Amino acid sequence: MQTKPFRIGTRGSPLALAQAAETRARLMAAHDLPEEMFEIVVLSTTGDRITDRALSEIGGKGMFTLELEEKLSSGDLDFAVHSSKDMPTKLPEDLYISAYLPREDIRDAVIGRTAPSLKALPDGATVGTASLRRQALVRRLRPDIQVAIFRGSVGTRLRKLNEGHVDATLLAYAGLKRLAREEVATELLDPVDFPPAPAQGAICLESRIGDTAIDDLLKAVNDCPTYDAVSCERAFLAALDGSCRTPIGGYAICDGDHLKFSGLILTPDGSIEHAVDISGRRADAETLGRQAGETVRAAAGPGFFEGWV
Ligand SMILES: NCc1[nH]cc(CCC(=O)O)c1CC(=O)O
């Protein structure tokens, strides 16, 4: 029996800490363990330190995970808690995603200052976001809207909005809910015309391959529909080479043994897009995601992924 506390790795942002606390609470309940059996170890990542540039400029996704993964590989952590959306599609060879917690709401929220919805924003309004996907999807609906790069924690972004730098900002509703700030949302965007980022709203747990004691611990809190849906979405991203430089949206929904996936890639100005819809057996979640990725990749042609940074 384990007597030392399990070491849970997390970033230090308020959202990351809330997610680590939720994970610990679920594990305590699933295994009837006291809080002292879990030590939350906070690490700062490159993505936390560099907040003045778009993520696509500083190298994209690994920026939020690298430092945690190094400490997992060296055995200094037992597992790490991540927003699945921030995970690169390729993981270090010795690590894997061992569990997904039940998914939160997948939608993006508008937090409007001068108007409540994207449609109602004034002509030429400015929306703050650093996400290429959100920029492209906003411009697709409202080509007159200007985009301002907006990074930092959820709290920082809400503060910048309230200071009047922009008319509105966009955030994952899941993050707002986990921070008990959902009342700031003025519009929830329908995934059909505003597809979320692959894996949005899902917390994942990453651990060492072959660490059976940790597998047994984490398996108890895994949510199978989330696992299949997010695996499909990540396979879609991987097939598109998931660079942060291409706006990509997509979401899978499990319905009994079935899974439906809708994906979209678009140019940064939202003027050209390629969409895909696919459905099949949940057991084939990853294959379906990969096929969807290959389908839009072929439809777009090689030139689509070049020509901008
Ligand atoms: N990179 C930031 C990030 N990573 C995960 C979330 C939200 C929570 C989630 O999607 O699980 C956010 C903030 C946002 O997009 O508003």
Q: According to the model, what pLDDT value does residue 85 have?
A: 94
Q: According to the model, what pLDDT value does residue 141 have?
A: 95
Q: The pTM is what?
A: 0.94
Q: Tell me the CA distances in angstroms from 309 to 45, 264, 304, one per residue in order.
A: 23, 19, 12
Q: Is the dihedral of CA 181, 16, 19, 232 positive or negative?
A: positive
Reported ipTM: the value is: 0.96
Atom index in ligand 1 nearest the CA of residue 203 equals 11
Q: 83 CB less than 6 Å from ligand 1?
A: yes
Q: Whose CA is nearest to atom 8 of ligand 1?
A: 175
Q: According to the model, what pLDDT value does residue 56 have?
A: 59
Q: 289 CB less than 6 Å from ligand 1?
A: no
**Ligand 1 centroid – CA 135 distance (Å):** 15
The single-letter DSSP state of residue 12 is -
Per the annotation, the verdict on 108 as an active-site residue is: no
pLDDT tens digits, 154-170? 999 999 999 999 999 99
Atom index in ligand 1 nearest the CA of residue 131 equals 15
Q: 276, 194, 204, 205: which is closest to 239 by C-alpha?
A: 276
Q: How confident is the model at residue 234 (pLDDT cuts 50, 70, 90)?
A: very high
Of the residues 86, 105, 108, 167, only one is catalytic, namely 86
Query: Which domains does the chain possess?
Result: 1-101+203-222 (3.40.190.10), 108-188 (3.40.190.10), 223-300 (3.30.160.40)
**Residue 137 tokens, joined:** 């999807």
Q: 172 CB less than 6 Å from ligand 1?
A: yes
pLDDT tens digits, 271-292? 999 999 999 999 999 999 999 9
Atom index in ligand 1 nearest the CA of residue 178 equals 8
Note whether 198 and 237 are within 8 A (CB): yes
**Ligand 1 centroid – CA 101 distance (Å):** 15
pLDDT tens digits, 114-145? 999 999 999 999 999 999 999 999 999 999 99
Query: Residue 91: what residue type?
Result: L
> Which residue is it, tokens 């709203």?
201
